[in-house]
Each structure stands twice: as structure tokens, then as C-alpha cells.
Amino acid sequence: MKRHPALIPLSRDHHNGLVQALRLRRAAADGDASARLVAASEFGEFFRNEERVHLRDEEEELFPLLLRHVPSQPALLREARVQHVQLQGFARKLEIAVAAGIVDRETLEATGELLDAHIRLEERQLFPLIEELVPDDELRRLGLADRDAPAPFGACARPSRASRSRVVAQTDVPHSCQRGAARTQAFGGSPWPGESHYPGT
């Protein structure tokens, strides 16, 4: 399946997500208590450092583009967004389990299955729908390709994934960039934006 260049950064993230999903399911099926703890702990790190930013990029940048070209929210998009919330819930549950030192098979397996199903939904159905309905020039303006690149000196570039995965101090960025930084700060504790992009939900 040929992916639009603008979506390739997200598809790369999906590859990493599928690796995590497989590890979770394997640990649930075959792992002992310590293997489950390790898998859950690694997943927590992945979620904090990569997945939160990935989900936010989709919610804030990509999905609103699709909404401009449909009369109402497609069922597929609604399902993907529900899964985002469920994934966040599982990540929180596993975080608590890791802190307690006991990770049960069921939660590990359910998290792995949901992550796997979610990624396949986006790759096989939602992204093709976006590629079909959103004009090429709008997708090209998405600008996710540079999200891991360091900002050139003095430039107001999109904050890198690393900086967006932690709370960004407003003093770290030029004044003209502070609006974006403030938004990042606002989501420092939670990856979820307001619901304003999604009327009728």
C-alpha cells in the first residue's frame, strides 16, 4: 500500500506501535510475572515518549483536516478516537500496575490487542479515507516530517517530538513560538485536546 508522504511519519510510529503490541501479547501469553512487568514498563516508556505525541498529532493536526471534507464525523474516525481514549486508559492502568509491581495477563493482552487493532484500523481504513478525501496540497502542509528534526537556530519550528513529550518551558522558545509552546504545556499532563475539532460527538 502506497502511503502519502505526509503520513509516513505516522506510519513509522505505527510500525513501532505494532512491535510494542506484539511484545505485550507475547508477554501476556508466555511471560512470567517479571517478564510481564518488563513488558508493561517498556510499554509505559513508549507511551510517554512516543505514543502520546503520536496521538496528539493525529487528534490535533490530521483528523481536523479530514473533518473539513466530510459533512459529519465518519464512523471510522469516531472509532479511532474512541480507541485513542481506551489506549490512554490502558496505559494509565498499566502504569499503576507497574508501580504496584504486579501486572496481570488480561490487561497486558487487552492492551496489545487494542493497540494492534487500532493501528490496523488506521493503516487499512482511516488513512486511505484521508488520502482519498483530503487534497494533496493540504496533506503536504501537515508538516509532521520535520517533527523529529532539531529547529534551526532562531527559527520558530514545530517543537520536536522529544520536547513535546515533556512539558516545555515557555522561556525555551522565541516569543513568536510561545503560542505553540503554551499549547504543549497545556497538554503536558494529558495528551487530549479539547473537543472543538469534533462537532457532533
Distance CA 15, CA 37 (A): 22
| Closest to Fe ion by CB, 22 or 182 | 22
61 binds Fe ion (CB under 5 A): no
φ/ψ of 118, rounded to 5, equals -65, -45
**Least distance to Fe ion from the beta carbon of 123, Å?**
8
Q: Which stretch binds Fe ion (CB under 5 A): 24-32, 109-117, 118-126, 132-140?
A: 118-126
Instruction: Using CB under 5 A, pick the residue from 77, 122, 159, 163 that binds Fe ion.
Output: 122
| Closest to Fe ion by CB, 89 or 150 | 89
| Closest to Fe ion by CB, 61 or 122 | 122
| Closest to Fe ion by CB, 144 or 181 | 144
**142: which 3 cell numbers?**
501537515
Q: How far is CA 95 from CA 44, 56, 117, 135, 138, in A?
A: 6, 19, 21, 40, 37
Q: Within 10 A of 107 (CB to CB), how many other CB atoms are there?
A: 18
59 binds Fe ion (CB under 5 A): no
**Least distance to Fe ion from the beta carbon of 14, Å?**
6
57 binds Fe ion (CB under 5 A): no
Q: Which residues lie below 8 Å from residue 96, measured CB to CB, with a gap of 6+?
A: none
Distance CA 42, CA 23 (A): 9
Binding site for Fe ion (CB under 5 A): 122
